[in-house]
Structure 1
Amino acid sequence: MDLKAVGEKRLLQLNELDEFWMEAYENARIYKEGTKKRHDMHIQRREFEVGQKVLLYNSRLKLSPEKLRTRWSGLYTVTKMLPYGAIEVSHETKGTFTVNGQRLKHYWDSDFSKQKSTVQLGTPK
């Protein structure tokens, strides 16, 4: 046995293993970047202002036996904007607390006209 040749072969194997490890590391980085990009596409950026009316998403309602029950609760008022997307909201009975801005959505008042209108249809010809 030639110890020098065996040593060189082992050194080449270690270099190949190091290259394989670096390639796997690079592939994992590329995969994570793509996953983050796809995740960030589905995040809805919402802008809130102090005094605005919002609804809160109730994530604990998932085990509810009623399929069609809404998961948006209450009528909350934004009282303060905090850093990193946190928002302080208040409710008349539940008090004031802080929530993640992703769990809120705008509440649109029903400004629709309450008057009814009728349209007379003619007989088909």
Structure 2
Amino acid sequence: MEHKALWALKFMNFDPSKTQNKRKRQMLELEEMRLKLFPRKLKSNWSGPFIVKSMRTHGEIELVDPSASDQQRSWVVNGQRLKLYLEGEVERLSIVMKLVDP
């Protein structure tokens, strides 16, 4: 069985460095295509206090940014992605225990 596998690799002229370079080129081409199709990046991390304007069916929530210049501008997000906003710093508690050999 090993002989057949070795023969198949030689027959296909398997070269790991060529395969690696080919895969890198393919990944770069895919990234270029993605940038052409979706030129602007999505804002995935947004935080701050937002006002809930309305709740829709299936858990969609319409939000408004109170600090924005246009108060009528709103967007719809999945309600499961929202978290409570705690204004200011959150106090973190820690406990220190000293261990002693008996």
How does the TM-score come out when normalised to structure 1?
A: 0.29
Larger radius of gyration: 1
How does the TM-score come out when normalised to structure 2?
A: 0.34
Higher relative contact order (Cα pairs below 8 Å, separated by 6+ residues)? 1
